[in-house]
Chain A
Amino acid sequence: MRPRGQSASIGEPVKASADLRLITGRGVFVDDLHLPRMVHAAFLRSPHPHARILGIDAKNAATSPGVVAIRTGSDLNLRSKLMQVGETTEASAIDIEVLPSGKARMVGDPLAVVVAQDRYLAEDAMELIDVTYEPLSPVLDADVARASTDTLVHENLGSNVFSTAEGGYGDWDEAVASSDVVVRETFRQARCSPFPLEGRALVADWDPADAKLTVWSSSQWPHMFRQHLSDLLNIPLDHVRVVTQDVGGAFGLKANTFREDIAIALLAVELGRPVKWVEDRRENLMASAHARDHSIDLEIALKNDGVILGLRARIVDDMGAYGLYPWSPDSWGKLLAVSLPLPYKVPNYQWEVVTVVTNKAPESAYRAPGNAAGAWARESLLDIAARQLSLDPIDLRRRNLIARQDLPFSPLGGGAPIDAVTTEEALEQAAALIGYDDFRQEQQKALAEGRYLGVGFGIYIKAAGRPKSPATVGLSETGLESATVRMSATGAVQAFVGACSGGQGYETTFAQLVADEMGVPVDAVQIQMGDTDFPAESSGTWGSRSTVVVGATLVGAARDVSTQMIAVAAKMMEAPQEEVALEGGFFIAERAPSERLSVLDVARAAWEDSSLAPSTLGTGLSSTRHYEIPGPTYSNGCHAAVVEVDTETGKVSVLRYVAVEDCGPLINPMIANGQIRGAIAQAYGSVFLEEIVYSEDGLPLTTTLLDYLIPDAASMGDVIIKHLETPAPGSGRFKSLGEGPLVASAPAFACAVADALSPFDARLTRLPLKPDRLIEATGGD
């Protein structure tokens, strides 16, 4: 076989194999699935943020044309276990019903489900359901909710505080006592939407003959979803199959199991017909989940020379009305807290997270949960501190970064040592590429002409593939992954993978990994994913884990199959195994180089001739491996932006943008750069555009794309991307890229705007930086 490290496709911009299919409209998403006898569901949702449900009358709706069934909580709730969230020591649990029966706790709470011949008829019938509500006063603001004793969202909690958690290390008070200055600011993230283009969607089908439930879902974790369906509906695990086809983005939203999922599965079982539900955009924006409704009160203690002595964070997280199964609702606030100091050496750190229940949609993970929100606050505070200490913001960062000489760095808060990161190189290169040395002059010159330019930096270190994640409970095994590679009798390599692609291009990058390991062309490898009946197990696609975890697993299995093939070829050629090699698609024995066997010859023979079996335990060419790398990998990066702010209109133009990333050796630069650009777009959205807004009486005001603005192609300008490719220590080499770039990007944009408006002493502590807020911050109206 090819000597290791001498790759053929790794590092090449191999065209993504799904592109042609997706671009020509041949993708198959949940809504493209049409099964015989299939019926369609729509959910009746509460128009009130908080109301007692006194009665639901579906008589008129039941006779509406095309209606198959109408069910409410009283029909469904007893047929499923309660979805209990929150079992951590600080928290009490919330029991979530399939469809709430006593109280609606948010606008969009699903109170009834209508199944009809098509979605149009289902929506027609839905309008005829008569619900009697007794409106209750809602709590919408986390601070108000915390203090409230008379308006409780969940009476069993006794208050609207779901949990209060504390942690840290060192001694904050001591840090303050030895510091020259303490800088403090409260940062307000906007509640936003994870916003996959394809919303939540599933088709559930019950086969009474086999007593098997099959669910086609737009999920990012089919195996976890299978487990939840089995647990909640009490169906044996081997009688549940979850299939994902093309997934139109996920971003964390689809690593939850929703009430609607359970309701649809129950209806499929009850009706014996496939039931489809595809949420529409209004449901997605109003009732699926939101993210990042955090308020972050951050204090930093420094010496005059900029050395950080300590950090204190007091975080209030508005978790909305429920939490999402199976996560503890305080997971994301805690993840924010523990990730805050990350790229810097912070000797003393103290944090508190208060997770508060309100009458709003529940909180979901959203790409780089915690990390992305925290980085904006942290980097903004560092800039404020630099201004206050009259230090160059880059110098201040240089002074505190976890640098080469600190590696391996044991995080003071615990966790695996940080190694193989290049924070200084990334910062220096970003500074050079953005033109930092000359920028201050450029900025002064512009200012003299009445133009406001600013530069901002964002830095991250992000772990991935960690065996245990600190802030979650129960299913924290991001390291759970097994994959099977098999050489078929046709000469094609099939690799069965548990993680599934929501647009990350795994069909291509995983195929590259297998192909290079086995010495076959990339297009000879078929990546099979997204079906729990495949020989692969996984905790899903989240937490930047897939390339690190699946990649390492696949490479191991592919290596086994290569070895098996050599064994078979050796037998066929009657040569010792050590003398057989695969070259240019042919097996050649050292002593008789003219007698060659093709990959196909060997593959066929192995499947057809039992005497050639590579081992006494089995015949085929196949291997299943588990992820076995013990620790996480750490990626890092630095982004820099130069912006110009029109201080009369509040319009921000991005003049230059640089991303320096170290995700280890690149498997496919084209796909890697796509991930980075996508992350920058999402960061742009969160800094400038996206905000879920509720009215004072609890009505969501951003339920269409007219009101909730996401970044589009026209919003994005040129981006310069530079890769440092430091391999992870150990055998895995590859590091993660899925989330990190988002973490660095938001602060780069936001700090650049703050820098541009520094002549006004503008306080930019609330996202998004809308034009009206910028004008207000400059002292305009």
Chain B
Amino acid sequence: MKPAVFDYHAPAIVQEAVELLQRYGEDATVLAGGQSLVPLMNLRLSRPGHVVDLNGVPELDYLTVDGEGIVVGATTRQRTLERSDTVRDLCPLLWRAMPLVGHFQVRNRGTVGGSLAHADPASELPAVALVLQAEVGVVGPTGRRDVKAEDFFIDAYTTALDSAEIVEHVRFPSLPGGTGTAILEVARREGDFAMAGVAASLTLDPEGLCSSARLALFGVGPTPVRVIKAERILEGRAITEELVGEAAAMAVQDLDPSSDVHASAAYRKRVAGVLVRRAIAEALARATGEQT
């Protein structure tokens, strides 16, 4: 479990990082927190000839409030979000997701940009990005572009990034008043990747009807999935237990998860439905202020 030979580069600014990536093309890989990349390199499943380390690029490490939300630099540690009152107040779903990402030791190193770029199917952050309709700020040889979360995750471990592009930041909009959120998952142990999980947000109008529902499942397919058909069941209605059951059934109807050593496909599908039901109930309780 020792990596194959590689050259190590430590750029000081984003521009330099992009140039290195352009120069070495497919043979180069970005290193952020290293929590996913380094094990893969040690197993020689990933064998980049050039490693471009972003940890020495200070301009990527920040957290700011911006109009209707927060903007997080790509190398900002997961732990920074977890400990931030700003994130708690403006983006509670993001804040709630953090403790579910590995263990605190992992979050001390793991980055927000890394979680999105790595696009692990069982990862929490991509699902949260979908629910919050985040925008991923990308920089590459031809300049900058913003990619909507819904367009960012293409397949397992595959994103819309080109080989010479890096994630520069991600913008998480805040949700309107009257919104409650929840994120639930089942994992073998605390800190493990989810066997199934769901991130949810519900917004109630002044009459108590659901004006907007967003549900994204993770760990049950190659990418996180927004289940719009299930959201539609809830929107415009007063949310009852029966309705929640209907939405949960709809949410998992088209799922086709896979089996692995941790859980069978059937289990994943079944438990995803349970989690959707519970997450809607929890988000609702928060939207109505019954629960904090």
Contacts and interface: CB of A to CB of B under 8 A. Distances in A.
A775 B270 contact: yes
A691 interface: yes
Given A648-B271, A704-B39, A714-B189, A771 B2 contact: no
Nearest to A715: B189
Interface string A632-663: 00000000000000001111000000000000
A714 B267 contact: no
B108 interface: no
A712 B4 CA distance: 30
B110 to A, nearest CB: 15
Interface in B178-213: 186, 188-193, 195
Contacts of B263: 770-772
A727 B5 CA distance: 60
Contacts of A704: 39, 43
Interface string A222-233: 000000000000
B189 A709 contact: yes
Contacts of A781: 264, 266-267, 269-270
Nearest to B267: A772
Interface in B1-31: 1-5
Interface in B28-43: 39, 43
B261 A651 contact: no
Contacts of A282: 1, 43
Contacts of A649: 186, 271, 274-275
Contacts of B195: 771
Contacts of B274: 648-649
A780 interface: yes
B103 interface: yes
Given A650-B271, A772-B263, A123 B2 contact: yes
Contacts of B1: 280-282
Nearest to B275: A649
A43 B123 CA distance: 35
B282 to A, nearest CB: 14
How many residues of B sit at the interface, in one of the four size bands? 20 to 34
A775 B267 contact: yes
Of listed B2, B43, B266, residue having the most chain A CB within 10 A: B2
Given A648-B274, A770-B263, A781-B267, A714 B5 contact: no
Contacts of B269: 781
Contacts of B3: 120
A714 B270 contact: no
Interface in A673-725: 689, 691, 693, 701-702, 704, 706-707, 709, 711-712, 714-715
Interface string A7-20: 00000000000000
A119 interface: yes
A120 B43 CA distance: 12
A771 B187 CA distance: 9
A770 B195 CA distance: 12
A124 interface: yes
Contacts of B264: 772, 776, 781
Contacts of A775: 267, 270-271
A701 B259 CA distance: 12
A264 B97 CA distance: 48
Given A120-B2, A689-B189, A771-B188, A650 B267 contact: yes
Interface in B233-292: 261-264, 266-267, 269-271, 274-275
B194 to A, nearest CB: 11
Given A282-B43, A781-B266, A701 B261 contact: yes
Interface residues of A, number: 32
A635 B262 CA distance: 36
Contact of B2 (A119, A693, A706, A780): A119
A771 B261 contact: no
A709 B271 contact: no
Contacts of B186: 649-651, 771
Interface in A745-781: 770-772, 775-776, 780-781
B97 to A, nearest CB: 18
B190 A715 contact: yes
A669 to B, nearest CB: 29
A770 B5 contact: no
Given A119-B2, A704-B39, A689 B188 contact: yes
Contacts of A691: 261
Contacts of B266: 772, 781
Nearest to A280: B1
Contacts of B191: 712, 714
Interface in A268-303: 280-282
A707 B271 contact: no
A146 to B, nearest CB: 25
Contact of A780 (B103, B192, B270): B270
A707 B103 CA distance: 16
Nearest to B3: A120
B8 to A, nearest CB: 14
Nearest to B193: A706
Contact of A770 (B43, B192, B262): B262
B4 A771 contact: no
B195 to A, nearest CB: 7
Interface string B68-100: 000000000000000000000000000000000
Contact of B261 (A123, A648, A707): A707
Q: Which one of A120, A651, A781 has the highest number of Cβ atoms from chain B below 10 Å of its Cβ?
A: A781
A710 B210 CA distance: 43
Contacts of A707: 261-262
B261 A702 contact: yes
Contacts of B261: 691, 693, 701-702, 707
Nearest to B270: A781
B249 to A, nearest CB: 14
A712 B105 CA distance: 13
A709 B5 contact: no
A707 to B, nearest CB: 5
A260 to B, nearest CB: 16
Contacts of A712: 103, 189, 191
Contacts of B270: 775, 780-781
B253 to A, nearest CB: 15
Nearest to B192: A709
Nearest to B1: A280
Contacts of A776: 264, 267
A124 B186 CA distance: 39
Nearest to B264: A772
A704 B39 CA distance: 10
B43 A714 contact: no
Interface in A63-116: none
Nearest to A705: B39
B267 A709 contact: no
A709 B190 CA distance: 11
Nearest to A708: B261
A119 B2 CA distance: 7
A542 B190 CA distance: 32
Nearest to A701: B261
Contacts of A651: 186
A770 B2 contact: no
A709 B192 CA distance: 9
A651 B275 CA distance: 12
Interface of B: 1-5, 39, 43-44, 103, 186, 188-193, 195, 261-264, 266-267, 269-271, 274-275
29 contacts: A120-B3, A120-B5, A124-B5, A282-B1, A282-B43, A649-B186, A650-B186, A651-B186, A689-B189, A704-B39, A704-B43, A707-B261, A709-B188, A712-B103, A712-B191, A714-B103, A714-B189, A715-B189, A715-B190, A770-B188, A771-B195, A771-B263, A772-B263, A772-B266, A772-B267, A775-B267, A780-B267, A781-B267, A781-B270
Which 4 A-B residue pairs are closest in the complex by CB-CB distance? A772-B267, A781-B266, A280-B1, A714-B190
Given A648-B271, A649-B186, A707-B261, 9 more contacts: A124-B4, A124-B5, A650-B186, A709-B188, A714-B189, A770-B262, A771-B263, A771-B267, A781-B267
